[in-house]
Amino acid sequence: MNRLVSVALPGAGGTVSFTCDPFGRRVEKVSASATTIYAYDGDNSVDELGAGGSSTARYTQGLGIDQPLAMYRGGAASYYHADGLGSIEALTDSK
């Protein structure tokens, strides 16, 4: 499927491994310090879950597939900006 399965970080950074589901979506990231689970609503990413199933990031999506509008992480909101073709070209915070 040509998906990234692991990255060896330089120095003592260790290795980060990724798991994808049969649809090619990343569903898990494992590093020495944490495991992150990615939750989806259909094809759209909606949540990142950390230790004990606690939410570490939430995503608000547009009406279509892969149209992110906002990300909420650590109590702060960030907003996605798309160009005329719908490609994300910027991510800004609320400041």
pLDDT, residue 51, reads 86
Task: Give backbone dihedrals phi and psi of 29, rounded to 5 degrees, phi first.
Answer: -130, 130
pLDDT, residue 2, reads 84
pLDDT, residue 82, reads 94
Contact at 8 Å (CB) between 77 and 57? Answer: no
Rounded to 5°, the CA angle 85-86-89 comes to 100
Tracing tokens 């879950």 back to the chain, one arrives at: 49
| Per-position pLDDT tens, the chain of length 95 | 688 999 999 988 899 999 999 999 999 999 999 999 999 998 899 999 998 899 999 999 999 888 999 999 999 999 999 999 989 999 999 77
**Domain spans in the chain, listed from the N-terminal domain onward:** 6-93
pLDDT, residue 68, reads 93
pLDDT, residue 37, reads 97
List of E strands, 14-65: 15-20, 26-30, 35-41, 44-49, 55-61
CB contact set of 22 (below 8 Å; sequence gap of 6+): none
